[in-house]
A and B are shown apart, each in its own frame.
Chain A
Amino acid sequence: MGHLRGKLLPPALAIVFSLLLCGVALIISGANPLSAFGAMVSQVGKGTTAVDILNSTGIYYIAALAVAIGFQMNLFNIGVEGQYRVAAVVAAVVGGSIALPTGIHTLVIIIAAAVAGAAWAAIPAILKVTRGVNEVISTIMMNGLAIGLSAYLIRRDVFGELRGNNIRTAEIPESGWMPGISFAGGGTVFGFIFVAIALGVGYWIMMNKTRFGFELRASGESSTAASAGGVNAKKMILVSMLLSGAIAGLISLPELLGRDHTFSLNFTAGIGFSGIAIALLGRNHPGGIAFGALLWAFLDKSGLALDNVGVPREIVTIMQGSIVLSVVVAYEVVRRFELASEQRRVGRELGTVGGAA
């Protein structure tokens, strides 16, 4: 029970703390914090907001899972951003240029996206394994390259076509779409949300029940102990980066398969970076990440509601930032406290004296 408290207390405290912080920020900027928070909560019931929040929760969830796989072994995959961008273009181009039966067509698009994401992540992974290049540096650079590559691929003389003011890839035929669940007037929940849930379950099983998950966690906890225990560090880096990239490749699919059916200039960017924050928030735990993604999506959508009551929407960014910071601090404090109390408990139950010299 104390175990559960240790897991839930820090995020709760962090959220309360950041609410207070934002309240102060609101008062300084001359707004009424109560009415602002009221507007944020009441927006959920209006129009398609609830469904929108759910949809972007799913997208954030996939992004955070991709980041979390790297985090589990202390790999900082900043490149999720670039990986899903490249994967989105490739998936859109592949989906728009082939004709296959319904279902199979969708499956091919999903596989293409995962392979493209993994391939983009393979470059920094191989650099790290063979040359020792730090993955933080290389994945940031790959993000820059991804923007250039995607812009090139949708040029009209490559795979792009002009529609009105927008340049985009050929539209994916209906056989490649993924149907959602429609609420009359309330919007449509992306069908891919269920894939996101399945990914979360798969992630949990992998981390807790498989040898691969054990080796991943052992490497993250102590690379020296892992190598003495027969874990091949290079293989783990390569496999976890590829896996992280493959999942990153799926980030754009809810929108691509469920709504847009094409890659265009309106592409939603920045989800990879949010994924990093949400993975931190959720402590790499599939349940924690789900909660973090929901919170993130809720705050994102609040920006609009705040605009309506005359409060600067940037307050949302402050809130997101302060939550992440205070969660990280709170977990560290609780972790140290728990380790010390565990040692006290062991000492007490054994009645030992000495041993601390």
Chain B
Amino acid sequence: MSSSTSVGTDEHPAVVLTGITKRFPGVVANSDVHLTVRRGEVHALCGENGAGKSTLMKILYGMQPPDEGTIEVNGEQVRFRTPSDAIKAGIGMVHQHFMLADNLTVQENVVLGAEALHGIGKKARARIIELSGRTGLNVDPGVLVEQLGVADRQRVEILKVLYRGAKVIILDEPTAVLVPQEVNELFDTVRGMQEQGYTFLFISHKLDEVRAIADSVTVIRRGTTVGSADPKTVSSRQLAEMMVGSELPSPETRESTVTDKVMLDVRGLTLKTPDGSRAILEDVDLVVRSGEVVGIAGVEGNGQTELVETIMGMRKAGSGTITLLDKDLTKLGTLGRREAGIGYIPEDRHRHGLLLTQPLWYNRILGYQTRKPTAKGIWLDTDGAKKDTERIVADFDVRTPGIDVPAAALSGGNQQKLVVGRELSGDPVLLIASHPTRGVDVGAQALIWDEIKRARAAGLAVLLISADLDELIGLSDTIKVMLRGRLVADADPSTVTPEDLGSAMTGAGSTSAAVQETAVVEEGEN
């Protein structure tokens, strides 16, 4: 195969998808999708969550067969039955969630499943070292993967597909797990490899990134390709409107509604690992006032989940106090804290928010089994629950044929709207929202943002945890940065940029006046 750096039109394109259609029970995930990827380019595929990007890539990677349509690679029509067929044709995929064995070395992870190529010994090692250079991975192949950071793990994933001979590399939301600085490094790697003749299919819904890296863009909406654009000339807003097909929502809340009435007051909160060896949360102080949204920024795994679950009483704090409206919650269980007025949008609605096989109205009762309108004393009030579920379905635009369908039958965005509607009922004084718009479509996202803003204007205190820095900056009145179980810095959302926050989140120290460090970071790099 010749590798050309020029984007030739006389040659066959690297990949052509024609008329791809894929149906699942209840939905058409892809319908009549057309996509042409020229050799040596970075081609971005944009679309909202649930638009059908991942399904399309699974089809291209041989994980699912299309119901209709054809796939051409280098001008030849191919039919992939399994991913190994796709790999043979030179297509490799780097999944959004890494598929690496932490307790194996880099070399073992790369060679695993491809032992036939260069064995498992010196030859394999030499090949890996040769390829590492191309991905910018500067570690010895004998290092355990568990010792690598997120960016290096991603390089190992890219290395894996290169080792298997991929010329076309699918990157599925590669930046979702990276902080801004790491994103830039990834892009440098991608450009370097592009010059060596590799072709990239870059899946993302982050439009600034798409415009920064892609040579051409194809937009997918509601399962079908709606058009292509030149990233050099198109604006993010135009791209976004192609994705959404309508006017864009914005998370921004400009007028401040912050009062000086303290709703949640957390002092000295400490949580240890079950064996008591390490602190997950260390001496956390946090105040949320009426009408205020306090956002917590942090790379995942730095204690945000645990902070929320400790405030909710699902984990038992080692020390510290939690006060809500002058009422001491420290000794109460989860139910007592909910009754005191905390609404809780959990980060994983399937694990923590819903009873999936139960009808919607039954889900309305969860967390409210002791209160009106879903209960009277020890008795459930099923009529009240049903009536109130109808209200949520109407007010929060939950798209469902009725309240008797099981929660699992709804799409992610509609499930989330139901959860948000439930947690905002019963006049809560504090809402804890963990990644409230994760995995939902833009329409649901706008509605959820609006509802949070409306409740805030009415005096609700909100504690917001989000990995989406734009959401965090747009919604919050105050941002606190969490690193290794501590709140280490405050940021002013009116002036801070995602890059500043990214630096603070990795503990690299801040160069911006918008981020004020509040605690000395141990083992800090700066």
Contact = CB atoms under 8 A, between A and B. Distances in A.
A in complex with B = yes
Interface stretch (A18-26, A157-165, A217-225): A217-225
Contact of B354 (A225, A232, A357): A225
Contacts of A227: 314, 334, 352
B480 interface: no
Contact of A342 (B29, B335, B353, B409): B409
Interface string B402-413: 000110111110
Contacts of A352: 26-27, 399, 411
Interface string B359-394: 000000111011000010011101000000000000
Contact of B356 (A214, A222, A340, A349): A222
Interface string A322-357: 000000000000000001111111111110111111
B346 A228 contact: yes
B25 A354 contact: no
A357 B54 contact: yes
Interface stretch (A32-40, A205-213, A261-269): A205-213
B375 A343 contact: no
B223 A353 contact: yes
Contacts of B351: 222, 224-225
Nearest to A342: B409
B388 to A, nearest CB: 15
A210 B380 CA distance: 5
Contacts of A186: none
Given A342-B406, A354-B27, A354-B29, A212 B358 contact: no
B410 A346 contact: yes
B437 to A, nearest CB: 15
Contact of B399 (A222, A224, A350, A357): A350
B405 A342 contact: yes
B79 interface: no
A342 B410 CA distance: 10
Contacts of B50: 354-357
A224 B352 contact: yes
Nearest to A227: B314
State which size class the interface on A falls in: 35 or more
Chain B contact patch, size range: 35 or more
Contacts of B330: none
Contacts of A135: none
Contact of B369 (A224, A229, A349, A357): A229
A81 interface: no
A213 B369 CA distance: 10
B422 to A, nearest CB: 10
Nearest to A349: B401
Interface in A222-266: 222, 224-232
B26 A218 contact: no
A215 B333 CA distance: 15
B357 interface: yes
B344 interface: yes
Contacts of A208: 380
Given A211-B370, A228-B346, A343 B352 contact: no
Nearest to B55: A357
Instruction: Identify the interface centre among B31, B353, B369, B380: most chain A CB within 10 Å of its CB.
Output: B369
A343 B409 contact: yes
Given A210-B379, A355-B50, A357-B50, A230 B27 contact: no
A214 B378 contact: no
A226 B358 CA distance: 13
Contact of A354 (B223, B370, B399): B223
Contact of B355 (A222, A230, A345, A356): A222
Interface in B315-359: 333-339, 344, 346, 351-358
B160 interface: no
Contacts of B49: 357
A225 B365 CA distance: 12
Interface in A136-157: none
Contacts of A224: 351-352
Nearest to B338: A230
Given A224-B351, A345-B409, 11 more contacts: A209-B380, A218-B366, A228-B346, A230-B335, A232-B334, A339-B409, A345-B401, A347-B26, A355-B412, A355-B441, A356-B26
27 contacts: A209-B379, A210-B379, A211-B378, A211-B380, A221-B356, A224-B351, A224-B352, A225-B352, A225-B353, A225-B366, A227-B334, A227-B352, A228-B314, A230-B335, A340-B26, A341-B25, A342-B409, A343-B409, A344-B25, A345-B405, A347-B25, A350-B401, A353-B31, A354-B51, A354-B223, A355-B27, A356-B50
Q: Which 6 pairs across A and B sit closest by C-beta, in order of nearness?
A: A347-B26, A230-B335, A229-B367, A229-B366, A228-B352, A343-B26
